[in-house]
Amino acid sequence: MKPRVAIVSVEEDVEAAVREAINLLGGIEAFAKPGGTYLVKPNLFTTKTAEEGATTDLRVIKAVAEMLKEANATPVVGECPAMASYARPDIVFDGLGVRDLCEEIGVELNVLDREPPVKVENPEAEVVGEFWFPEFALDCDGVINLPKLKTHVLTTLTCAVKNLYGLQQGGQKAHYHVVTENDPERFSRLLIDLYQTIREQIILTVVDAVVGMEGEGPTTGNPVDLGLIIAGDTPLAVDLVVSQIIGWDPMEVGTNFIAVERGLKPASLDEIEVLGAPIEEVARTFEKPKTHQDGQPFIDIRMPIECDGERCTGCGICSTVCPANAIAVDGTAEVNDELCIQCFCCIELCPNGALTAIRTVDP
């Protein structure tokens, strides 16, 4: 049976569109069993909102959680926010209103950074052969993946596969940037190592593409009113379809390219059953980050990171999250180019959009 991906246009009601997309795949009962407990894992890495194109829309979280409850299953919302590496993870849950939402609909909120870490080995890995996951992510009956559709300065796209990186706790995320020496291809191979390690636990993916992000994602790009909910039973299939929807050759996305190279399925759109709206009717080309050359899945030049002094508040977040200790803050941020490993964590987590990677070579 082919992997299936459903595409639904949001007319007015986001929750209704989520339900329609999941029903096109056979309904929540096709994925969740009565009495089961399921982790609902959105993208909540920062306090920037869904309307800004940065994080998963609360209406998507609510719709999935309520569908699980209607199927007599137990949803638990959980995430390891990237901001947890320099602040309490609660800052994200409280700032976005996730805690209030969970209380409103009677759903448990799990701060996954506080779960005991459990090691899982992957003998097929190319870069990292073992990963540590929050205990609950492994003990629950399945994970429902709720990514945001966005561009990404390092990986070009962050969607179904990349969202699973959010199952790594605290400083572990930064550690992997060091392990890969932040070579873009090596980091993308690590993401596929992680995907292979956890993919059997991912039962359903529902993408928030209501407002996406293009350009300098995942934080400081431009919001795009795409107006879509995209759901699928296989994360890789979802990413292949999403790439096509945003006007890109799917093989220009490094994680797609590597997954297909390793023989993971599906290998092309021809191997996917697309339900709902046809891709060509909803497609809208997204601008890529400046860090990526046209037609190339991996960055092949170094780019200095510049700080906009008018935007920088000297908060020090960039210095705290930098795994290479390459940033000093004295009024404004200054990046030591010799120490910089080009992970772009500082760009991703700067709350003011003050940091930018500068392309010195035209694509």
- The dihedrals phi and psi of 346, each to the nearest 5 degrees, come to -65, -40
The distance in angstroms from the start CA to the end CA of the chain is 40
Please report, for the chain, the start and end positions of each structural domain, with discontinuous segments joined by +: 4-282, 305-357
User: Which residues neighbour 104 within 8 Å (Cβ) at sequence distance 6 or greater?
Assistant: none
Q: What is the pLDDT of residues 34-92, one digit of tens each?
A: 999 999 999 998 889 999 999 999 999 999 999 999 999 999 999 998 764 445 678 89
Q: Which of 3.30.70.20, 1.10.1050.10, 3.40.190.10, 3.90.1150.10 would CATH assign to domain 305-357?
A: 3.30.70.20
**Contact by Cβ (8 Å): 73, 34:** yes
State how far the Cα of 182 lies from the Cα of 178, in Å rounded to an integer.
6
Predicted local distance difference test score (pLDDT) of residue 362: 56
DSSP class per residue in 187-219: HHHHHHHHHHHHGGGEEEEEEEEEEEEESSTTT
Q: Which of 3.40.640.10, 3.40.1160.10, 3.40.50.2300, 3.40.50.11440 would CATH assign to domain 4-282?
A: 3.40.50.11440
The answer to whether residue 301 scores a pLDDT higher than 70 is no
User: Which residues neighbour 269 within 8 Å (Cβ) at sequence distance 6 or greater?
Assistant: 240, 241, 244, 250
Residue % of the chain over a pLDDT of 90: 75
Predicted local distance difference test score (pLDDT) of residue 335: 94
The answer to whether residue 204 scores a pLDDT higher than 80 is yes
Structure tokens at 254: 């490094």
